[in-house]
Amino acid sequence: MIDALGSAASSSLICLSCDAPLEPGKIEASYLGQSFPVDLPRCPKCGFVYVSEELASGKMLKVEQALEDK
């Protein structure tokens, strides 16, 4: 489940507040009282985490549903 979310594929997005490119980083994902670490692109300065549409409607949705059925 933890690996299922990993999508560290580096993105070319830029954080406008910090004028810094996003980099893969350690993120804590949590849902329904369960948390687990994942690697996701985030701003190295302010910590803005990016969840792509593909991730949100794919792997992340699957994990959410699996946790809901627990």
Partner 1 sequence: MDGEQVKAWEALCVEEQPPACVAACPLHVDFRGMAEKIAAGDFVGAFALYARVVPLPAILAHVCDHPCETACRRAEAGGALRIAALERACVEEAYAVLKRAPQRLRRPKSVAIVGVGLAGLTAAHDLAMKGHAVTVFEADATALERLRHFDPAILPPSAIEADLGGLVSLGVEIRCRSRIVGGDGPLGLDRLAENHDAVLLAPGRGRTPAFAPTVALGPDGRVVAAAGSGATSHPKIFAAHVRMSEADPVGGDFADYSPIGSAHDGRRAANTIDRFLQGASLTAARGDEGGHASCLYVEVSAHPPVAPIDPADPAHGYDHAEAIAEAARCFPCRCRECVKACEYLARHGGYPKRYVREIWNNDGIVMGNRKANRMIDGCTLCGLCAEICPNDLSMGEVCLDARRSMVRRGKMPASHHDFALREFAFYRSAEATLARNEPGFAASEVVFFPGCQLAGSDPDAVVAIWSHLRARISGGVGLLLDCCGAPAHWAGRVDLVEEARAAFETEWRRMGRPAVVTACASCLKMLRELHPDVPAESLWTRLAAIGLPEAPPVVSPPLSIHDPCTARHDHATQAAVRAIAAARGLEVRELDGADRTTCCGYGGLSVYADPETADRIVERRIGQSEDDYLAWCAMCRDTFARHGKRTAHLLDFVFPKSDGDDPAGRPDPGLSARRDARLRLKARLLREAWGETVSDDEPIMAIQVPEDVRLDMERKLILVEDVTRTIAEAEASGRRLKDPASGRLIAAHRAGEVTYWVAYEPEGDGFVLRRAWSHRMRVEAKP
Binding footprint of Zn ion on the chain (CB under 5 A): 15, 17-18, 43, 45-46, 48
Contact 10, 23 (CB under 8 A): yes
Neighbours of 62 (CB within 10 A): 13
Task: Name the minimum Å distance from CB 10 to partner 1.
Answer: 13
Q: Does 70 bind partner 1 (CB under 8 A)?
A: yes
3-state secondary structure 1-27: CHHHHCCCCCCCCEECCCCEECEEEEE
Candidates 1, 9, 10, 37; binder of partner 1 (CB under 8 A) is 37
Q: Does 40 bind partner 1 (CB under 8 A)?
A: yes
Q: Among Zn ion, partner 1, none, what binds residue 3 when CB lies within 5 to 8 Å by partner kind?
A: none
Task: Name the minimum Å distance from CB 2 to Zn ion.
Answer: 25
DSSP string, 34-50: EEEEEEEEE-TTT-PBP
